[in-house]
A and B are shown apart, each in its own frame.
Chain A
Amino acid sequence: MRFFRQFLGILGVNLSGAAQRSGSVLTIIVGVTCAVGVLISMLAMGIGVQREGMADVRADRVILNSTGTRGFQSSIPKNEAVIARDLPGIKRDADGASIVVFESLIPIEAHRRVTEVRTFFPLVGTTANFAEYRPEIRLTGGRMFHPGLHELFASTPCSRQFTGFEIGDRRSIRGADWTIVGHFEQGHTLQCVVYADIDALMSSFNRNTYSLVSVMLQSPADFAAFLNALQANPMLHLEAQHEREMVRESFKPLKGILDFASYFVGTIMAIGATLGAVNSLYAIVDSRRREMGTLRAIGFGSGAIVASILCESLLFALPGALVGVALAWAFFNGFSASPFGYNLRLAVTPSLALIGIVWAVGMGLIGGLLPALRAARLPVATALRAM
């Protein structure tokens, strides 16, 4: 109790002097603001990637790849795909047909509007029931592709970002003209995806194997039964993944790079801000030698002095964290970016704000430690003589 009273007393004295030391206090606040602001803004990219990938994930969707491969590299023979359609646990549509979609992925080049930068979008050959598997698809213009025809059904981000995706536009693919017949929104996605009839696409690319078989289960709980049957069948050489798992796996490298860059830059800036805080607190402590000496002389403990200076340091660091997070949110929340061609919106979330505050507490504690120890160790006589 006595410690606590002393602690509060010293803290009060410290803070009442803060106004006279506005330069030093501002240095700490601005340093922490910049370090936290940059860290949070950069981490917001990683969160954006995650949000963008996970927004439309459903627990009842399962993706099958050929064993040991993923996506574009996967190759599933037609006979295996047909067997997979009759596995247990699969949801059925109104007509009693199982909701299983066969898909063939082909990366195609597109060019960004204005900048003409080249990127790739997946051209997905798919079976006619694909909309049952992806109920989040919403038609926004034109119509879906007709089976057997050279028609393309493109997501709205395609026409927003790239040239040549207006309804009625034609693209030459493998010596044939393919026409854009419709636009759609797919849940929350910002990526360009184009669907076409799988048979038309595979015949023009001379393909005889599918890339993916996508399955909708009756309920997420049916996964175990489905997986058992899949693995028990010696005819099938397929691997099943929950949609969530597949998305997480495919975004891991991108999120890894972005998070690494964020923490790398954030750490260096935090070191700089901490050094600045140490310097400022030394100056503050030095200017208060007289008060500290007096307090020690009338019996205040050195523990209370250390605690009060650490607390003061934290009190200067925290506004920095809040301003940093607020600035990051104000400038970059919802900001569009496309690192490595992947479209995302930066997201400053409460969990990021928490990281920012933890970061600031770290800077405050480390920055305050040496000055606090110096203040507590100062011999009383020397301190008083400084008068």
Chain B
Amino acid sequence: MKFIPLFWSGIWRKPARTALIFFQVSVAFALFGMLQGLKTGVDHAVAAARADLLIVHSRLSYLAEPLPAGSLEQIKSLPGVKLVVPVDIFGATYQKPTQRLGVVALGLVKDWPSAFTYTIAPEHVSAFQKLRTAALIRNEVAEKYGWKIGDRIPLMSNTAQLNGSTNWAFDVVGTFSDSDIGGGLDTILINLGYLDEARALGKDTVQHFNVAISDPKQTATVADEIDRRFANSSQETKTESLLELAQSQAQSIGDMNFLIRAVVAAVLVALLFATASMMMQSIRERRLELAVLKAVGFTDRAVFLLILGEALLVCIAAAAFGLVLATLLLPLAARFVLGLSMPKIVVAIGLALAIGIALISAAVPAALAARLKVATALVNG
């Protein structure tokens, strides 16, 4: 306990220097926290993706190839399938070409929300089912454009109506949130029945089917069963769980691990030099004080620990501050990049790295301080 005032006076001997090194370490760990948070956030979101929800889409492409709506009955008849919901997706814009929205049209099969990752209030579900031109909007979209329940929103798209117009209008009846990272932020849900009736082309086709299965352990079996059912037809399907889709989506971002490791390595190298040189500087200036400490009875060991302790205190406090900073900044970034979070493991790794940096950079200065000869130091100052 008697060491604490000593640590404190050692640290604040040169306040400007300590403040600078503190901020330098903080900045480095804020960057570490954000990069690592991005990575682990994506990993966690992928791991949390539902394995028991299947998407049946065309074998050729998840994106552009429609399936006949009639396949629904065939899928429904297969064993293990609990619920099948037809889904069509098209792109639309609101007012400006840059304000893009994903429009998800879904068939109002009984109990349809259970085949999606959406969270919708029950009264919004029933309002959605009552009105043909109804739309549910994702919370983020509602916030972005200031849309409220009761608003009628005009959208433009390349999907033509029967009268040739490509303008559509929907009535907002509620909002929803989505736990899936692949869902896209700017999404609205509409009634597939209404879309299919009103559109000029592509009638009776859908982009994919959402399939909920009765036993989550049977995912692979049911998926194979569905694909076998359509094998060798002109509409071959590919059935994947949301988990598999999330995995391939995360992989397509690229080799994030490598990038993050390289950046973090560069940050740590620069930091190591900075803290080591600061500690050396500090020891050089304090020869006299350290010699006095020894003269009044501090052992070499105590002086060694004192220096090490100072470095540890500053580095850990600064790293913690940096990680807090990153945690505060992440929610802001989460508006642009989905699935960011700061799991405890990142905090733990960060603090461990801070301890490592402090120990490595303070080892040599602390050893020098411990070996200091009292007489020479007192004579030479």
Contact = CB atoms under 8 A, between A and B. Distances in A.
Interface of A: 23-24, 26-27, 30-31, 33-35, 37-38, 41-42, 68-69, 72-73, 75, 106-109, 115, 117-120, 172-175, 205, 265, 268-269, 271-273, 275-276, 278-280, 282-283, 337-341
B30 to A, nearest CB: 7
Given A31-B270, A75-B158, A275 B253 contact: no
Nearest to A32: B270
Nearest to B57: A109
Nearest to B28: A272
A279 B31 contact: no
Given A23-B277, A68-B158, A276-B274, A175 B232 contact: yes
Contacts of A75: 158
A106 B63 CA distance: 9
Given A106-B64, A272-B267, A276-B24, A175 B251 contact: no
A337 B63 contact: no
Contacts of B278: 27, 279, 283
B269 interface: yes
Given A175-B234, A175-B235, A272-B267, 20 more contacts: A23-B280, A27-B274, A27-B277, A27-B278, A30-B273, A73-B158, A106-B61, A118-B251, A173-B60, A205-B65, A265-B35, A269-B270, A272-B24, A276-B270, A279-B20, A280-B277, A282-B17, A283-B278, A337-B255, A341-B254
Q: Is the interface of B mostly helix, strand, loop or mixed?
A: helix
Interface residues of B, number: 48
A26 B273 contact: yes
A24 to B, nearest CB: 6
Given A23-B276, A279-B24, A339-B253, A107 B270 contact: no
A269 B61 contact: no
Interface in B279-324: 280-281
Interface string B9-34: 00000001100110110011011000
Query: Which of B17, B30, B235, B274 counts the most chain A CB atoms within 10 A?
Result: B274
A68 B156 CA distance: 11
A30 B235 CA distance: 60
Contacts of B63: 72, 107, 120
Contacts of A278: 20
Contacts of A117: 248, 251-252
A42 to B, nearest CB: 8
A268 B30 contact: yes
Given A174-B234, A272-B28, A340-B252, A108 B277 contact: no
15 contacts: A24-B281, A30-B270, A31-B270, A31-B273, A34-B266, A38-B262, A72-B64, A73-B91, A73-B158, A172-B236, A275-B23, A276-B270, A279-B24, A279-B274, A282-B17
Given A106-B60, A340-B253, A269 B267 contact: yes
Nearest to A74: B158
A117 B250 CA distance: 10
Contact of B252 (A26, A174, A279, A341): A341
A24 B277 contact: yes
Nearest to A341: B252
Contacts of A37: 266
A35 B31 CA distance: 12
Interface in B199-257: 232-236, 238, 248, 251-255
B368 to A, nearest CB: 12
Nearest to B60: A108
Nearest to A115: B251
B271 interface: yes
A41 B262 contact: yes
Query: Which of B20, B63, B65, B273 counts the most chain A CB atoms within 10 A?
Result: B273
A104 B271 CA distance: 54
A116 to B, nearest CB: 9
Nearest first, the 8 closest Cβ-Cβ pairs linking A and B are A175-B234, A23-B277, A339-B254, A34-B270, A275-B24, A34-B266, A276-B274, A30-B273
Nearest to A111: B248
A75 B266 CA distance: 49
Interface of B: 16-17, 20-21, 23-24, 27-28, 30-31, 35, 59-65, 91, 97, 158, 232-236, 238, 248, 251-255, 259, 262-263, 266-267, 269-271, 273-274, 276-278, 280-281
Nearest to B240: A118
Contacts of B97: 68
Query: Which of A275, A280, A340 counts the most chain B CB atoms within 10 A?
Result: A275
A30 B63 CA distance: 47
Contacts of B276: 23
Contacts of A109: 59-62, 238
Nearest to B278: A279
A253 to B, nearest CB: 11
Given A173-B60, A273-B270, A69 B251 contact: no
A337 B16 CA distance: 43
B252 A27 contact: no
A188 B45 CA distance: 37
Contacts of A41: 262
A27 B274 CA distance: 5
A137 B44 CA distance: 44
Given A69-B158, A119-B252, A340-B252, A271 B274 contact: no
A272 B17 contact: no
Contacts of A34: 266-267, 269-270
A107 B65 CA distance: 9
Contacts of A118: 248, 251-252
Given A117-B251, A118-B248, A339-B254, A265 B277 contact: no
B229 to A, nearest CB: 14
A24 B273 CA distance: 9
Contacts of B280: 23
A119 B63 CA distance: 11
A265 B264 CA distance: 10
A278 B277 CA distance: 13
A108 B31 contact: no
Contacts of A120: 61, 63
A331 to B, nearest CB: 9
A341 B20 CA distance: 41
A265 B64 contact: no
Contacts of B270: 30-31, 33-35, 269, 272-273, 276
Nearest to B266: A34
Contacts of B274: 27, 31, 276, 279-280
Nearest to B252: A341
A119 B248 CA distance: 9
A84 to B, nearest CB: 20
Nearest to A22: B277
